Amino acid sequence: MTATVFIDGAAGTTGLEIADRLAGRSEFQLVVLDEARRKDAAARAEALNDADFVILCLPDDAAREAVAMIRNDRTRVIDASSAHRTSAGWTYGLPEVIGRKSLASAMRVSNPGCYPTGFIALLAPLVRAGLLPADWPYICHAVSGYSGGGKALIGRFEEDRDIAFRAYGLALGHKHVPEMQVHAGLSISPLFAPAVVPAHRGMLVEVPLQLSVMTGAGAPEALRAALADFYAGSPIVQVLDDQPDELLLRASMDPVDTLSLRVFGAKDGSQARLVAMLDNLGKGASGAAVQNLNLMAGLEETAGLRL
Ligand SMILES: NC(=O)C1=CN([C@@H]2O[C@H](COP(=O)(O)OP(=O)(O)OC[C@H]3O[C@@H](n4cnc5c(N)ncnc54)[C@H](OP(=O)(O)O)[C@@H]3O)[C@@H](O)[C@H]2O)C=CC1
Ligand SMILES: CC(=O)N[C@@H](CCC(=O)OP(=O)(O)O)C(=O)O
């Protein structure tokens, strides 16, 4: 049977990439509101209540409003915004970490933030395994392509070609910090230092570790082996054991829905750098939404993905 899918916010950056990944899929029929009606509350309420699946690709407040407009107990929701990522009653849509079975019956799924996807994928398995402490003040550095900020940031970077690097979140308390703490299983809020580079897509998320002063922490090789073991068999998350001298984000990067994890270690084992690379619009947003939709619909999780 064909399930109907309504993307609320379909004209935005994430919505368009989800529609790309669903194009040609016979299992789903996309419901599209034309330009004149896509922000019309009555038209949206009707589409939200008629669809089998709704994917919210909206700013947080509009996502909360959309959820409130659903007046039935049948429509299943994937919210790409950060409105519900630590909310009770919502399943966090990182299947590799929370378990694929949780997605199968979930009615409300919160798609992870792009940066938290890398951070949580690196830390959650290691904290769970006792190879890294839960009570540690972790720091996360990250750089993102400008599409991570949606239409507004794309417009800004495409207008001002002179921006070479944009450090932001300088007031601390970035909106991703709560989900990073909760879903990595940390008792201390991590310090998050994000930046944007003049590339459309792609991101690198790093957690540097002073292992020698972290009581009970595993050696870099043990951390790498534990991640490889945890993600063994995943078609999407790859744990690489190459040790390149540099990691490059390319401005010409094509869309991709994989997530690559690496552990770099000092020769004496005293320090390590955990590094995740992903496409903010792939596993960081639209690819993850389609993976979650597949699992919710009981389909192969990689259907339609760019692997
Ligand atoms: N970009 C990324 O890499 C990621 C984005 N996300 C999240 O996904 C969500 C969408 O982000 P993104 O696609 O980047 O943002 P965009 O700004 O590119 O798109 C948002 C879309 O929502 C539309 N919109 C805003 N308010 C309403 C409303 N009340 N009713 C209907 N449509 C509305 C906008 O309309 P208009 O076109 O008129 O402005 C726009 O088309 C956000 O919550 C974002 O934080 C999550 C992970 C990564
Ligand atoms: C480069 C950039 O601006 N990135 C966005 C995060 C993108 C993302 O993960 O989306 P959510 O807002 O849904 O969490 C930011 O830092 O706010």
pLDDT tens readout for residues 85-94: 999 999 999 9
C-alpha neighbours within 13 Å on the C-beta side of residue 178: 8
Q: Are residues 246 and 291 in the same domain?
A: no
Which of 80, 114, 180, 277 is the catalytic position? 114
Ligand nearest to the CA of 177: 2
Angle between the N-to-C axes of helices 60-69 and 41-50, in degrees from 0 to 180, rounded to the nearest 10: 60
In this structure, what CATH number is given to the domain that contains residue 262?
3.30.360.10
Distances in Å between the alpha carbon of 259 and those of 45, 193, 281, 285?
35, 20, 12, 12
Q: Are residues 160 and 13 in the same domain?
A: no
Q: Does residue 305 sit within a domain?
A: no
Q: Does residue 274 sit within a domain?
A: yes
Q: Does residue 157 sit within a domain?
A: yes
Ligand nearest to the CA of 289: 1
Q: Are residues 107 and 136 in the same domain?
A: no
pLDDT tens readout for residues 21-69: 999 999 999 999 999 999 999 999 999 999 999 999 999 999 999 999 9
pLDDT tens readout for residues 153-209: 999 999 999 999 999 999 999 999 999 999 999 999 999 999 999 999 999 999 999
Q: Are residues 104 and 120 in the same domain?
A: no
Q: Are residues 289 and 225 in the same domain?
A: no
Range of the domain at 142: 114-279
Q: Average pLDDT, stretch 138-155? A: 98
Looking at residue 1, what is its pLDDT? 78
Q: Does residue 46 sit within a domain?
A: yes
Q: pTM here?
A: 0.98
- Secondary structure element (H or E) that encloses residue 293, with its range: helix 287-296
Distances in Å between the alpha carbon of 139 and those of 20, 194, 217?
35, 11, 16
Q: Are residues 44 and 100 in the same domain?
A: yes
- Mean residue pLDDT of the chain comes to 98
For residue 249, pLDDT over 90 is answered with yes
Which residue is closest in CA terms to ligand 2's atom 10? 113
Total of domains in the chain: 2
Q: What is the ipTM of this complex?
A: 0.97
Spacing, Cα 58 to ligand 1 middle (Å): 4
In this structure, what CATH number is given to the domain that contains residue 31?
3.40.50.720
Spacing, Cα 38 to ligand 1 middle (Å): 12
The encoded tokens of residue 145 equal: 């392509």
For the CA of 194, the nearest atom of ligand 2? 16
Q: Are residues 37 and 81 in the same domain?
A: yes
Looking at residue 75, what is its pLDDT? 98
Distances in Å between the alpha carbon of 152 and those of 13, 82, 103, 155, 303?
10, 17, 32, 5, 30
Looking at residue 140, what is its pLDDT? 98
**Percent share of the chain, pLDDT over 90:** 99
Spacing, Cα 117 to ligand 2 middle (Å): 11
CB of 55 within 8 A of CB of 75?
A: no
For the CA of 153, the nearest atom of ligand 2? 3
Q: Are residues 122 and 97 in the same domain?
A: no
Q: Does residue 93 sit within a domain?
A: yes
pLDDT tens readout for residues 102-127: 999 999 999 999 999 999 999 999 99
